[in-house]
Structures are given as C-alpha cells and as structure tokens.
Chain A
Amino acid sequence: MYEVQAIANNLTMTRPRENDSTPPVATSPEAILVQAVLNGDREQYARLYDQYARMVHGILLARVPRDEVDDLVQDIFLHALKKLHTLRDGAAFGAWIGMIARNRAMDFHRRTTATMQLEDETPARPETGGTLARQVLEMIRALPDAYRETLVLRLVEGMTGPEIAARTGMTAASVRVNLHRGMKLLREKLGFKEGL
C-alpha cells in the first residue's frame, strides 16, 4: 500500500493533499518570491534561480547531452520568467519548473533527431579523463525515468533525499523508493553486489 501510494504520487508528480478544502499556503518562501517577481522585483528571480538551478540541471542531465545542459538551464529559467503569471500557486514553483525542464528535454530530442543520427556516424573520439564518469552517467540514463532523475539529483548534483523531495514536489516516500530501487539497478549494472 505504501509503495503503491508512492508510485502513484510519483507518476502524477504531485504531493498528496491531506485536505482538499485547505487553500494553498501563500506564505511559503517560493510563493513570496514569485509574488515579488510578478510585482516587478526582478532581483528576486535570481534567488529562485539559485535555489532551483541545480535541480533543473539534474533533471536535464538525466535526459540530454551534458554539453547542452547549461544553455538549456538558462533558456528554461528565462521561459519560466515570461510565463510566471500562469503559475497560480507560487509554492509549486519547483514542481512547475521541473515539469518545464522535462518537456524541454523532450522537445530537444524531437528537434535534434537528425543531428544525432549524423553524429553517430562520425568516428569515435579518443578517450578522455572524464570517460568513466560519462559511462556511469550513461548507465544511470539507461534506467527508468523516475529512477534516473532521482539518482542524478542524488549522486551527480549532491542533493539529499529530503532536499530532492522539497524541490521537485514529490513525496519523501516516492524519492526514497526511487533512490533505493534505482541504486539497486545501478549496482547490478556496475557489477556491485548488494550491501557491499
């Protein structure tokens, strides 16, 4: 039951609501910052960027080539600034911009399909120092969506489980399940034994 609830929350990417009649909390730091930006204080947006850029970077890194990630992060935050008026609950900024990042990653793959095919035909480059890290990252990327994103945020971006839950809007239970299942799969791929 616990896992079913966690998976359902994970699929819908929403937090469980204890009571539908309670209004969204308007006093969360994100809501205050969002309201300030909407009122014309652009500097507050830099604070939102500082808080959420790492999460957006991780979400993108789990899906698109690393060379493209930095530019995409900037694009996503600029796009989000333009569309900030469509965000009804400022406290949900993290979940909202995370969803924008996922959609942008999908758009990136749609647009660059032809380019990727051409790159595949070019001869392989000589190995560099970061090859092992990239190989491990590729293994993580080969995992199912929910696991790879959580693992990248934890192992690459250095965020803790509670931090991932708070930033992405997922429940702590979902994040915990994703972390442990994803880690188990990764260990199998890397050839580690469970518990070592």
Chain B
Amino acid sequence: MSDYLWDRSGEPDKEIQELEELLAPLGYQPRPLQIPAEVAPERRRRLYPALAIAATIAMAVLALALWLAVNHDSSVQPSQATRTPVQSPGPKAVIPPAPLPKEPEIVATPPKRPVNQSVHYFPARRAAKRGGNVYQAPQPGAESIAKRTDAEEGEAAKEQLLTALRIVSVKLNHAQQRTQGGNSGNQIRYQHKVG
C-alpha cells in the first residue's frame, strides 16, 4: 500500500505524480468571496416552540373544561334527583328529608315523546322551577329510559375526553421534543436538507 497516495509520504508514486501534474490546472484557483451587503445569516426562529407550548396549554385547558362539564352533568342523575327533596330558593322553611310522605304527590310525568328523543330529563328541576317541595315518584319506564340515555351520553363524553387527552399528550410530547432541541446525533444527516 503506497503511503504517497495517502499523505505524500514515502517514495513518490510516478503514476500518481503524473496524474497530479496533469489534473492540477483543473483544480481550485483562489478567488475572493464577494458577499453582497444584503446577505447575512438569518436569525434563529424561536417562535415555533413558543407557539407549540401555547397551543398545548390551550388544548389542556380545553380538555379540562370538557372534563369538568361532563363530570358535572353526570353527577346529577335523574334517579337520585327524583328521590331527593328539592329545596326552593329563598328564605322558605326547610323541610327535613325524612320521613317521606306515605302518599307522595306525583308531579313529573313521563315524556310522551318518542324514547330516542329524550336527551335530558330532569323532573326534579322542573318541579323546583314551579316552587314546590315535593317528592317525585318517577315512572319505572321513564327512569330506565333516562338511565340508558344518560349512560350512552356518558360513554360518548368519556370517549371524547379520552381523545382530547390523547391529543394533548401527543402535543406535549411534540413540544417537549422541540424545546429539547432533538437528537444531536442526527443533526448532520438532517442538515443536508438545508441545501
């Protein structure tokens, strides 16, 4: 193995020397670089990570609000509301919850509309609007329908919430990667895309 080819040390190789002499005129001839005044290195763009973080926070707040809304709705179940004495607002006398009247007055009636149209059914709220402190005995059919629809709504809301949380998680990971500056081991490989 000739050292001359590697670093021009050792005994010169005639063929390589000839090739060098032949090809040298085609080589680089020093020429000054003329840089126009308007050409300057661009500044680093730090806006994108800030935007990503802001978007992530907004998504997190949105997801939290959605979760709170769903949680609030599901906490008021029709079956519980009908068996709790509703207190009217104002300085009226408070009626103790027990004992229950033997023959409760039925105020709320089951909806006459089709079953699939029943979205929100809160008989206790309606009664409260009328100002009555009454015990409401719901119809067995209406209660089961309301339970079923609320369960379906709950499931749908839960899925929405899970989807939102997944999106937030992905956004957070993305923002974290952006702020950490990525893997330095791949920088040379990726930097060729600049050209």
A interface list, Cβ under 8 A from B: 12-14, 17, 20, 23-24, 37-38, 42, 45-46, 49-50, 53-54, 57-58, 61, 66, 70, 73-74, 76-89, 92, 95-96, 99-104, 130, 132-134, 136-137, 154-158, 160-162, 169, 176, 179-180, 183, 187, 192, 196
Contact = CB atoms under 8 A, between A and B. Distances in A.
Nearest to A34: B41
Which secondary structure dominates chain A's binding surface?
helix
A130 B186 CA distance: 42
B26 A88 contact: no
Contact of B187 (A50, A61, A88, A179): A88
Contacts, number: 140
Given A104-B195, A160-B6, A130 B41 contact: no
A155 B15 CA distance: 11
A85 B195 contact: no
B35 A78 contact: yes
Contacts of A14: 188-189
Contacts of B195: 76, 79-80, 99-104
Contacts of A46: 32-33
B15 A196 contact: yes
A74 to B, nearest CB: 7
B35 A81 contact: yes
A104 to B, nearest CB: 6
Contacts of B181: 88
A6 B187 CA distance: 20
B27 A176 contact: no
B93 interface: no
Contacts of A154: 5
B39 interface: yes
Interface of B: 1, 5-8, 14-16, 19-20, 22-36, 39-44, 181, 184-185, 187-189, 191-192, 194-195
A137 B35 contact: no
Given A82-B41, A85-B44, A136 B33 contact: no
A137 B187 contact: no
A28 to B, nearest CB: 14
A68 to B, nearest CB: 13
A39 to B, nearest CB: 9
A14 B189 CA distance: 8
Given A54-B28, A133-B25, 6 more contacts: A13-B188, A57-B27, A61-B26, A82-B42, A100-B194, A179-B5
Given A155-B20, A183-B5, A89 B184 contact: yes
Contacts of A38: 41
A144 B109 CA distance: 88
A92 B35 contact: no
A158 B188 CA distance: 26
Nearest to A195: B2
Return the 5 tightest CB-CB contacts between A and B, nearest first. Answer: A100-B195, A99-B192, A103-B195, A57-B28, A161-B6
Contacts of A132: 22
Nearest to A157: B27
